[in-house]
Amino acid sequence: MNKIRIPFFSLLLCIALVLTGCSDKNVKARKTSVKDLVIIYTAAEEERIAYLQDELNKRFPDTVISIRAFGTGQLLSRLMAEGKNINCDIFYDLEVVNAEIILNSYPHLFVDLSDYDFGIYDPSVAAYTERHHRYAVNGKTAGAFLVNTRMLEEKGLSIPHTYEDMLNPEYRSLISIPSPKSSGTGYSFYNGMITILGEEDGLNYFEELQPNIKEYAATGSAPAKSVVNEDVAIAYGLLWQCVNYANNYENLRVIVPDQGLAFDLFTMGIVSGHETKGSVREVFTFLFNDLNRSQCALFNPDKIYVDMPAADIQNYPIDYNEITMKGLFDFQYKRDLLHKWEY
């Protein structure tokens, strides 16, 4: 049988052409994936991230949207450390005072959003608009206590109702709160008590509370989960999350002190230089105009929009007193308070 012989150099040429063709396809695939990739850095909780991811996937089926979760302090550190070279295109749920810390060091790190309609915001959260439009508010989160009534009953203990009640020695090692150094929720509680009591008495409050604390959690959502898991009997956490847990577990109860609830504002925006990348602008516009409203209604319904309806969540308190938070946007005030935090 005659064998067909292919010249050696012709064989090499064929192989090279095949490899080149594959390489071209891979390059095109990489370029397409980069063009259609939008990266969102967030400090939002798991359930909110899952909702946002699902809705964004449905709205932008041809875009890969990667939502990457960080703790409040981690998100600040990441944005500060990486600056404009960061992979992040959009930030979401960045604590407002942390946004101010970043802008103090990098005034132009975030895109100016003046072409968006800031008239949608309720006056109670729009004070910052007199200074700049480098970010937009995406949420207002109040804090409350979640109590495991079964655990307290088994120990023969009463249910606490006020901030002062939490100091009762009978709750020794039964309470968890978020750390102010790593959690926006923890810092708002700390700041709230300083606002109500004054600095000296506020610091004394946390000194007296210390023996009752079993854990200073790294995130705002962790303490409430510890109550559900019966690791502690009392936790300070996000109001909306506490209400959701109480609606699903009959042995849990939300405590809203009459003195008022501390709250914090969280922000969203675009990293400068990324606004012209692929679908980044379109994704943020959808967040600003539509998606953020629906996530507020489902999860953290404290009013941020002028026309925002009352919360449609079972047992969600709509008439609680609100602490007038001191230094809400003042990053130096926060640094000074955290410097005095000893736990």
Look at residue 299 and tell me whether its pLDDT is greater than 50. Answer: yes
Confidence band, pLDDT 50/70/90 cuts, at residue 131: confident
**C-alpha closest to that of 223 among 214, 236, 204, 212:** 236
- Residue-wise pLDDT for 93-102, tens only, equals 999 999 999 9
pLDDT of residue 4: 41
Q: Span 28-32, mean pLDDT? A: 41
At residue 28, what is the residue type? K
Between 12-26, 76-90, 159-173, the lowest mean confidence (pLDDT) is in 12-26
Q: Span 203-229, mean pLDDT? A: 96
pLDDT of residue 319: 83
**CATH class as words, domain 33-140+264-318:** alpha beta
- Residue-wise pLDDT for 242-260, tens only, equals 999 999 999 999 999 999 9
200, two tokens: 């000296």
Q: How far is the CA of 135 from the CAs of 43, 99, 101, 221, in angstroms?
A: 15, 8, 13, 24
pLDDT of residue 125: 82
Q: Tally Cβ neighbours within 10 Å of residue 153.
A: 13
Confidence band, pLDDT 50/70/90 cuts, at residue 155: very high
pLDDT of residue 12: 40
pLDDT of residue 128: 64
CATH 3.40.190.10 placement within the chain? 33-140+264-318, 141-263+335-340
Measure the CA–CA gap between 85 and 55, rounded to whole angstroms.
28
**C-alpha closest to that of 43 among 5, 13, 74:** 74
Mean pLDDT of the chain: 88
Look at residue 24 and tell me whether its pLDDT is greater than 60. Answer: no
pTM, 2 dp:
0.81
pLDDT of residue 13: 39
- Name beta bridge partners: 67: 40
Cα 25 vs. chain centroid, distance in angstroms? 39
Measure the CA–CA gap between 294 and 238, rounded to whole angstroms.
18
Residues contacting 135, CB < 8 A, separation 6+: 91, 94, 96, 99, 110, 113, 267, 268, 269
Between 65-69, 81-85, 267-271, the lowest mean confidence (pLDDT) is in 81-85
Pick from 74-83, 84-93, 100-109, 207-216 the range whose average pLDDT is largest. 207-216
pLDDT of residue 130: 66
pLDDT of residue 31: 42
Q: Span 300-308, mean pLDDT? A: 90
b/e map 183-204, b = 16+ CB within 10 Å: bbbbbbbbbbbbbbeeeeebbe
Measure the CA–CA gap between 320 and 310, rounded to whole angstroms.
13
Q: How far is the CA of 49 from the CAs of 35, 69, 119, 198, 215, in angstroms?
A: 23, 8, 26, 36, 25
* HEC-encoded secondary structure of the chain: CCCCCCCHHHHHHHHHHHHHHHHHHHHHHHHHHHHCEEEEEECCCHHHHHHHHHHHHHHCCCCEEEEEECCHHHHHHHHHHHHHHCCCCEEEEEEHHHHHHHHHHCCCCECCCCCCCHHHECHHHCHHHHCCCCCEEEEEEEEEEEEEHHHHHHCCCCCCCCCHHHHCHHHCCCEEEECCCCCHHHHHHHHHHHHHHCHHHHHHHHHHHHHHEEEEECCCCHHHHHHHCCCCCEEEEEHHHHHHHHHHCCCEEEECCCCCECEEEEEEEEECCCCCCCCHHHHHHHHHHHHHHHHHHHCCCCCCECCCCCCCCCCCCCCCCECCCCCCCCHHHHHHHHHHCCC
Residue with the two structure tokens 């007199």: 130
pLDDT of residue 49: 97
Measure the CA–CA gap between 4 and 241, rounded to whole angstroms.
74
User: What values do phi and psi take at 65, rounded to 5?
Assistant: -110, 115
Confidence band, pLDDT 50/70/90 cuts, at residue 132: confident
- The CATH number that domain 141-263+335-340 falls under is 3.40.190.10
At residue 229, what is the residue type? N
Measure the CA–CA gap between 191 and 199, rounded to whole angstroms.
9
Measure the CA–CA gap between 320 and 305, rounded to whole angstroms.
18
